[in-house]
Structure 1
Amino acid sequence: MALEDCDRVAEIRVRGWQSAYRGLMPQAYLDAMSVAEDAERHRARFTGGDGSVTNLVAQDEGGVVGWACHGPYRDDERRTEDAELYAIYVDPAHYGTGIGRLLLAESVRRCAGAGHARMFLWVLKDNARARRFYERAGFTADGAEEPFEVQGVPVPEVRYVRDLTA
């Protein structure tokens, strides 16, 4: 990913939230999401990061159509050598084309190649489509749950893990 991809990545992420999370969180929240504000956050992270986060983009002849981001597992209570998939989004117009599978496979490959034993990710508990996607890719729910709230509405997340050593 390059700095000039931040606007398109933000558009894909916001449209992805608005599509994938419809009915799972307050519509007013989804409708108020700003591509411009999200792009600014991406630019700040991209230019101010410590290099531990990897951003991947998938492109077709029309430009960027998907984005994934991974890095060290984020756990304030314990430090691990594990990896975490922070985000993966595909332009809703490209759902079902295999772009998400390719991005996830590349993130897994890079994390395994870097010597990480496991890769974690968090997904909304009620996001059945995403959960099936991760399960088909070899991830399993490990029983951990996190509360997550959007505008006073609980939308809990569940953690998934995949062994990268096999």
Structure 2
Amino acid sequence: MSSSSSYEVRPAKLSEAQAIADLHVSASQAAYHDLIPAEHLNKMPLAKRVTMWREAIEFGDPQVQVALDGGRIVGFVGFDRSRDKGTKNTVGEIWSIYVDDGYWNQGVGLALWDAAREALVEEGCTTVTVWIPLRNERALRFFDLAGFKRELNTAKTVPMGDIKIEEMRLKRALD
């Protein structure tokens, strides 16, 4: 799975925090509409989400890159070192990756993954992980195609709004 994308991917700018937050809300609604009841999605107020992304962009925790189509943000990825306790500092993690649902299956996610992978390699990471809800078949398929393998012994229950969902960690070597 490699990209020959026509999308521009670059580090996010502070001025783009609002657009990233808006996309985060709309893309998560599209991605999780069959998995999580609407009243449990996006409980975080938009202003708080904007602040969260502004701080991530400003402090690089996580690093945030955006994909653009004609100057419009159509996807973003947040990544950095793994947040999992006990992991080596050579383990990176995709913290989040979202694409406007009008751009699904058009190479945006792949372009974002390629950019995150390259940046993690530059930082000295040798492996990368991602946590995915077990019932999110689209995301599981995407990461399977990107060479990630499911770590069956990592399933955990996490809160999302007022409900809990099951997630599994996927992992792959960074070549």
CA distance in structure 1 between the partners assigned to 2:71 and 2:62 by the alignment:
26
Is the Cα–Cα contact under 8 Å of residues 23 and 75 in structure 2 kept in the other structure? yes
Pairs aligned (count): 163
Per-residue deviation, residues 30-69 of structure 1 (Å, max 9, x unmatched): 265543331122123333x2x4532110111141111001
Could you tell me which residue of structure 1 aligns to residue 38 of structure 2? 27
Tell me which residue corresponds to 1:61. Answer: 70
**1:139 and 2:137 are equivalent in the alignment:** no
TM-score w.r.t. length of structure 2:
0.84
Of all paired residues, the percent bearing the same amino acid is: 26
TM-align CA RMSD: 1.8
1:7 equivalenced with 2:18 (yes/no): yes
Q: Which residue of 2 aligns with 1:88?
A: 97
- CA distance in 2: counterparts of 1:94 and 1:78, whole angstroms: 34
Unpaired runs of 5+ residues, structure 1, are none
2:158 is the counterpart of 1:148: yes
Calculate the TM-score normalised by the size of structure 1.
0.89
Tell whether the 8 Å contact from 2:42 to 2:161 is kept in structure 1 after alignment. Answer: no
Identify the structure with bigger relative contact order (alpha carbons < 8 Å, sequence gap 6+): 2
**Is the alpha carbon distance of 1:76 and 1:7 closer, same or farther for their aligned partners in structure 2, counting shifts above 3 Å?**
same
Amino acid at match of 1:156: E
Letter in 1 for 2:128: M
Q: CA distance change for structure 1 residues 78 and 105 in 2, over 3 Å: closer, same or farther?
A: closer
SS of 1:20's partner is helix
Q: Deviations over 1:120-143 (max 9, x none)?
A: 010001101110000001011112
How far, CA to CA, are the matches of 2:172 and 2:85 in structure 1? 20
Decide whether the 8 Å contact of 1:58 with 1:103 is kept in 2.
Answer: yes
Q: Of residues 95, 111, 115 in structure 2, which corresponds to 1:102? A: 111
Secondary structure, in 3 states, of the residue corresponding to 1:10? helix
- Which amino acid in structure 2 is aligned with residue 162 of structure 1? R
Residue 138 of structure 2 aligns to a residue whose secondary structure is helix
| Cα gap change, 1:22 to 1:114, in 2 (>3 Å) | same
Asked if structure 2 preserves the Cα contact closer than 8 Å seen for 1:55 and 1:67, the reply is yes
Is the 1:14–1:34 contact (alpha carbons within 8 Å) kept by the matching residues of 2?
no
Is the CA contact (8 Å cut-off) linking 1:26 and 1:150 kept in structure 2? no
The aligned residue for residue 167 of structure 2 is 157
Q: Is the 8 A contact 1:68 1:87 kept in 2?
A: yes
